Each structure stands twice: as structure tokens, then as C-alpha cells.
Structure 1
Amino acid sequence: MRGKIINAIAAIILVAGVLWWFSEHGQSSPLPALKPVETSNIPTSSNPRGTVQLEFPSAKYPETAQHIKEAIAAGHSNTCTIDRDGADSNRDASLRGGPTKKGKDRDEWPMAMCAEGGEGADIKYISPKDNRGAGSWVGHKLDDYADGTKVRFIVK
């Protein structure tokens, strides 16, 4: 055991000496440069899977995709924290005061299922087929993710 400790200390001293020599002789470190870490993808206790990237299919749901792009450009977040239990109250809050239009759905961004949704959400009138299809598609894609998971929407 004593021999292992002495070997470990010797290795540390050797590495420290090499690093000192490089710094004293104007050389860059002999160690490879570290790549930056995308911290939003690191799981935490409140978001155990990290941020999920979801590419939204613009070709399939063009009206919803356009609305998401416009709402993000206007300052709304591209990231949603899943909160299914809050969806009904968020929908009520976001649509309150916005009249219905015959043949149109009121699409909200952030979506009602997002903790960021609710009062202050961006509302746009779009076709029911596009709106409901997009909602079903997103719901299906996120079925396996728990509430609290962060989802970054990428609309191309």
C-alpha cells in the first residue's frame, strides 16, 4: 500500500513539473484543449434527462411552424418545460378574452402544456387541421418524457 501512495505522489510531482516547464518556456500546455460542454443537456434533479431537442416538422404543419417562429422572434422562449397538469389552466388563461373565429383554431405559443404557457402567450388563428395535427404530433413525441423535462423546439 505504501508503495502505491509513493508512486501516486511521484506521478503528481512529475505532471506538475512538466506543466511548470511548459509555462516557464512560453510553451502552450502539452494537454489537449478541452471542448466546451453544452450545459443545457446535462441532467439535473429537476430535469433528469437534460434538455430534449425537438425538430418541429414545418412541411407537415406549416401554419403552426410559422406561428412558433413568429412568437420566438417576438421574444417568447423556444424552450418549453413540460407541465401536463397545468395545461387546462394555461389554455384558459392564454385564450381568455380572445374571441373565437368560425373555421379557425386559436393556437398559443408557448403551448398550454408548457409551464411557460398561459397568460401572455402569443395567440394566432390557424386552421384546425394544422393546429390539432401539430398538437397531436408534439404530444406523441413527448409521451415518454416526464413533467419537468425541458424541450427546445427547433423549427427549420
Structure 2
Amino acid sequence: MWLSDSRCGEIVEVVWNSCATWDTVGSIISREDRCGKYLEWWNKNVFGNVKRELEKKKKALLKAEREALHNGLNFQVRELQLEINILLDREARMWNQGACILWLSNGDNNTIYFHSKATHRFRKNSIIGLFDASNRWVDQSKTIATVLEDFYKQLFSTSCPSSMASV
């Protein structure tokens, strides 16, 4: 959500480039710590709470709509509607990111159960072998396919059709 705001990238760049040394791992870690602290401050004081800002803007919109009815000027109403749309977009992204985080942390809690059921069904539905027309056990995939094909050809064909007119 922060990446949609250009100020976030500016803060990261300024904080990251503020240290003069690049020679140690410690300097990278300290840069990362400072960057995190500045982003927390920025989130709290500049970016703001989306829900709180949305409520403020909606109240301001109601007030601006009442004023627009009296004086006929609605440019402030349009500005507030645009700001509300941006905040609603941020809120939707926030919920989407929260859902992704929950799914990544919890995953599908029933994975083992469903995997075992699918494996069991696969084993149950597998054809290991068949007896052919001469009652021989066939267990190779090509010969199983031939046995099945011959069986259904024989089942759906007839050698001596009678009363074709009724058919």
C-alpha cells in the first residue's frame, strides 16, 4: 500500500543514502533499522490511518455538499470525492494484503486431509490390470487400453441386426 505513494520511495532513498560507508554488514543493518523507524514515523504522521481519514473526508463531504446546495459551487465536493475514492482504494488494498498475509501464515489448514483423500481416490480409481476376453490377466497400459477398446466395440456392435425398420 505504501508503494502507491511516491513519498515512501523518497524516504527510503534519503535514509538509505544518508550513511557514508558501505563497507560492513553492520552499516547495511543500521540503514535497514533507520529506514524502518522512519517509515513507521511516516506511516503514523504523514500517511495516516486510512479508516480515520476516510471518516474525516466523508464528514467533510457531507458538509461541502450542504454548502454546495446554497452557493452552487461544487469544486470542493469533487475534490473530496476524489480523495475518498483514493482512500477507498487504499482500504481495499489494505484488506487484500491482510488476506494474503493470513493465507501465507496459516495456509490451507486442511491440506494434509485433502491430499490424503485425493491420493486415496486416485488409488481407488486406478486400473492395475484386467482380464481379457480369453481370461488372461493383462497389466500393461497399452494392452489394458486394447482390452477396454475391444470390450466396448463388442458391446456396442451387433453381428445380426433384426428389425432395422423399428430402429
TM bucket (normalised to shorter chain) is: under 0.3
* More RCO (CA 8 Å, sep 6+): 1
1 or 2, which has the higher helix percentage? 2
Greater Cα radius of gyration, structure 1 or 2: 2
What TM-score, normalized by structure 1, do the two folds share? Answer: 0.22
1 or 2, which has the higher strand percentage? 1
What TM-score, normalized by structure 2, do the two folds share? Answer: 0.21
